[in-house]
Amino acid sequence: MNTSAPLLELSGVVKEYPALPTPLRVLRGVDFSLGAGECAAILGPSGCGKSTLLNVMGTLDLPDAGTVKICGHDVAGMNASALARLRNHELGFVFQLHHLLPQCTALENVLIPALVHENRAAAKDEASRLLERVGLLDRRDHRPGELSGGEQQRGAVARALINGPSLLLADEPTGALNEEAAAELAELLLELQRERNMAIVIVTHASDLAERFAPIYEMHGGRLKRRE
């Protein structure tokens, strides 16, 4: 990894979806840069392209033009297995809905991204430590359906962190939670960001949430503008 380059760097990123009569151009030249351990919030109304942008940042989708670099490496030049390795080692994802597997316990869900590891015992210890950190250790054997919305999201956060990512990408992570659980989850994410010196990009339509993860980048007309 190139340690002098920004952790994440987008330049001139364009992304469109096929549509008639003309393609829907959602991202129209996004420039963005984030260093290791930094926070950023991307704020914009529903439908403006926030999830599209986060998917491109996380290499879940590729841009139609422009470049995405992670740790200085242009993702366009990587094959599928290199991208999968990069995602697994460097990136963690948290979505609005937890996406925990319903038939697996909390502990098993946290372990899933670590199944590729040779040392299963160490991974299991780390999963337990993470569940403890997010306040779910006593729920380790519960299935997602037996957890509250806030607990499900905390489980999803633990799962995102199991491989020690340098960047956490969070797409409306509190969007399905009540006010109290949302505030708790935001606080947890900020604590984890500081403890682990991990970078976070959070995407939201809620200004008060975005402020906690400042600096804020507003999405307008398919571009980002940093709020002063």
3 near ligand ADP, rule: CB under 6 A: no
Site for ligand ADP in 150-189 (CB under 6 A): none
d(CA 16, CA 26): 5
* Residue 59 binding target from ligand ADP, Mg ion, none, CB below 5 to 8 Å by type: none
**Are the C-beta atoms of residues 226 and 66 closer than 8 Å to each other?**
no
Stretch that binds ligand ADP, among 1-9, 45-53, 128-136, 210-218 (CB under 6 A): 45-53
Rule CB under 5 A: which residues touch Mg ion?
A: 50-51
43 near ligand ADP, rule: CB under 6 A: no
* Residue 79 binding target from ligand ADP, Mg ion, none, CB below 5 to 8 Å by type: none
131 near ligand ADP, rule: CB under 6 A: no
Site for ligand ADP in 12-41 (CB under 6 A): 17, 24, 26
CB of 44 to ligand ADP, least distance (A): 6
Cβ of 118: how many Cβ atoms within 10 Å? 6
CB of 228 to Mg ion, least distance (A): 25
CB of 189 to ligand ADP, least distance (A): 18
CB of 93 to ligand ADP, least distance (A): 14
47 near ligand ADP, rule: CB under 6 A: yes
**Quick one: three-class SS letters along the chain?**
CCCCCCCEEEEEEEEEECCCCCCEEEEEEEEEEECCCCEEEEECCCCCCHHHHHHHHCCCCCCCEEEEEECCEEHHHCCHHHHHHHHHHHEEEECCCCCCCCCCCHHHHHHHHHCCCCCHHHHHHHHHHHHHHCCCHHHCCCCHHHCCHHHHHHHHHHHHHCCCCCEEEEECCCCCCCHHHHHHHHHHHHHHHHHHCCEEEEEECCHHHHHHCCCEEEEECCEEEECC
49 near ligand ADP, rule: CB under 6 A: yes
Among residues 13, 48, 106, 186, which is the contact residue for ligand ADP, using CB under 6 A?
A: 48
51 near ligand ADP, rule: CB under 6 A: yes
Residues forming contacts to ligand ADP in the complex (CB under 6 A) are: 17, 24, 26, 44, 46-52
